[in-house]
Amino acid sequence: MELYSDIASPPCQNVLLVAKRLGIKLNIKETDIMNAGVVAELTKVNPQHTIPTFVDDGHVIWESYAIAIYLVEKYGQDDALYPKDPKVRSVVNQRLFFDIGTLYKNVLANINMLIEKQQPSAEMQKKLEQALDLTEKFVAERSYIAADHLTLADIFVLSSITALEWLRYDLERYPGIRAWYGRVTAEFPDHADFLKEIREATKQFIVTYCPHLEY
């Protein structure tokens, strides 16, 4: 199984964490999508040339949500990460859709403004704050964000929260998120090393492509 990936990318982090949780060994193909030559090669596999892109014995999938669900359904020893119970799964799905359409969307929008040497508007900052306010409510309802145990929703929201480091975002007013973050990262014994890799890769990306930013 091959994964075209860059650990600085939150969507790639999602897939890497799911694979860790499932005990799956991936052949990581480091992919710099800022490099035109690399993108040209990736386009041969994925016409949308996005990462992560996953290849399993010739079967190609992209979009991290789709890859994660595929991995759980095909290689999971149980359905804990993506429960089959319709009611529980519906909450997991809602949180996943909330992440892609609201939380991560607004985190990324604010980051992209900084990359483009602009400051996020007051409206953009407000939308991010509203997304985090909702996240705080979600994690206050139960120990994890969608169930009483770790699910895919926790992993995806974790990467979105981790990406706030780009913005030097202060989570002091979100005690629920901070407590939840500790519970989720504790599910991954080597998360400190994983986070170190993320920070090193992010710093390298910024030095190379966004030297005007501080990280």
HEC string for the chain: CEEEECCCCHHHHHHHHHHHHHCCCCEEEECCCCCHHHHHHHHCCCCCCCCCEEEECCEEEECHHHHHHHHHHHHCCCCCCCCCCHHHHHHHHHHHHHHHHHHHHHHHHHHHHHHCCCCCCHHHHHHHHHHHHHHHHHHHHCCCCCCCCCCHHHHHHHHHHHHHHHHCCCCCCCHHHHHHHHHHHCCCCCHHHHHHHHHHHHHHHHHHHCCCCCC
Active-site positions? 9
- Given CA atoms 206, 212, 213, 215 in this order, what sign does their dihedral have? positive
What is the CB-side half-sphere exposure of residue 183 using CA atoms within 13 A? 18
Question: Positive or negative, the Cα torsion across 135, 14, 24, 46?
Answer: positive
